[in-house]
Amino acid sequence: MTGKALRLGGIELGGTKSIAILSDGESILERATFPTRSPSETLPLLSAQLRNWNREASLDALGIASFGPLQLNKAAAGFGKMLPTPKPGWEGAEITTTLSGGLTCPFAIDTDVNGAGLAEYCWGAGRNCSSLCYITIGTGVGGGLIVNGAPVHGAMHPEIGHMRIRRVAEDQFGGACPFHGDCLEGLVSGPALAARFGCDPATVGEDDPRWTYVASDISEMAVNLLLTCSVQRILIGGGVGMGRAKLLPKVRQLTVERLAGYLPFATPETIDTIIVAPELGDNAGPMGTVALALDALSQ
């Protein structure tokens, strides 16, 4: 990546809202926010905003960070399309074709969580780490893996939110994921919590014992990530992840207990530096599009 000032466009396509940004290198100059409705409503609005900025002065690169799952294989016929997704109406949506239409600059696309993770790696809580996992818990549960400064891809991209986990025996909530029922997303996402509590989870007190079930589910995810990916840091953000003061400390405590001393780097003394909140907060997503645009220029 380069620190040279460049005119960059970015799109963060989220499950609830979408943000278009214009930056001067790493400094965001303008942003426009739109509700995420159907693809035919949302994508043209975002594309029009990019074209307006491009008419004022040509964009040097575009970064697109979108909820998924996405087809990220450049050799595939459906590169840049939305794959089967829990969000109604979005399967098959032409993300890259629509958003890059009318632009001649290079672009890069990745998941919103990979983009946010890349931003935290470059400018936030992941500085000085060689590996991290960025988790966002909100409308859904997404997870991005960054290793040596690059998002991890393979057959597709990580879908950590649909991990199946060991549950507390007393927790009888059936889950809310339309694909898997009680996967992680089906247990702890915002809609899942609304179904679990039977009301807006923001109105449920910190001491409600059901939050212990939620902390348990998130700690199971953390244990699995530390054992399988050996990441140096797990960042937990999003409206649910950052909205509960007692949740993260409980997740840390349970993670140490369940590792049972097996990983020497994860101890009661170090866990506060391993499972942390993102530093960039709500700016992680928009800055992720900047990071992806900068990557597009280097390819």
Per residue in 175-209, pLDDT tens?
999 899 999 999 999 999 999 999 999 899 988 99
In the chain, the N- to C-terminal Cα span, in Å, equals: 10
CATH classification of 125-278, choosing from 3.30.420.40, 3.40.50.620, 3.20.20.20, 3.40.50.300?
A: 3.30.420.40
Q: Which two tokens stand for residue 52?
A: 């307006």
125-278 shares the fold of 7-112:
yes
Nearest Cα neighbor of 278 from 112, 119, 125 is 125
Segment among 157-161, 164-168, 273-277 with least mean pLDDT: 157-161
For residue 106, the model assigns a pLDDT of 97
Percent of the chain whose pLDDT exceeds 90: 83
- Count Cβ atoms below 10 Å from residue 148 Cβ, excluding itself: 9
For residue 242, the model assigns a pLDDT of 66
pLDDT higher than threshold 50 for residue 2: no
Nearest Cα neighbor of 57 from 1, 8, 97 is 8
For residue 139, the model assigns a pLDDT of 85
Nearest Cα neighbor of 227 from 186, 183, 272, 258 is 258
Torsion of CA 253, 254, 256, 261, to 10 degrees: 140
SS3 of 106, please?
Answer: coil
pLDDT higher than threshold 60 for residue 3: no
| Block residue for tokens 């790493």 | 26
Beta strands in the chain (DSSP E): 7-13, 17-24, 27-35, 61-66, 107-111, 131-137, 141-147, 150-151, 233-237, 275-276
pLDDT higher than threshold 60 for residue 291: yes
Q: What is the DSSP string of 274-297?
A: HEE--SSGGGHHHHHHHHHHHHHH
Confidence of residue 1 (pLDDT cuts 50, 70, 90): very low
Q: How far apart are CA 179 and CA 51, in angstroms?
A: 37
Please tell me which residue, 239 or 84, carries the higher pLDDT value: 84
pLDDT higher than threshold 70 for residue 241: no
For residue 4, the model assigns a pLDDT of 55
Mean pLDDT over 16-38 rounds to: 96
For residue 91, the model assigns a pLDDT of 95
Q: Which two tokens stand for residue 111?
A: 């998941």
Q: Which two tokens stand for residue 246?
A: 């007692």
Per-domain residue ranges for the chain? Answer: 7-112, 125-278
Identity of the residue numbered 280: L
Per residue in 85-116, pLDDT tens?
888 999 999 999 999 999 999 999 999 999 99
Burial class of residue 298, CB neighbours in 10 A (0-12, 13-18, 19+): exposed
Q: CB-based contacts of 155: which residues, under 8 Å, 6+ apart?
A: none
| Block residue for tokens 């007190």 | 205
| CATH code of the domain made up of 7-112 | 3.30.420.40
pLDDT higher than threshold 50 for residue 245: yes
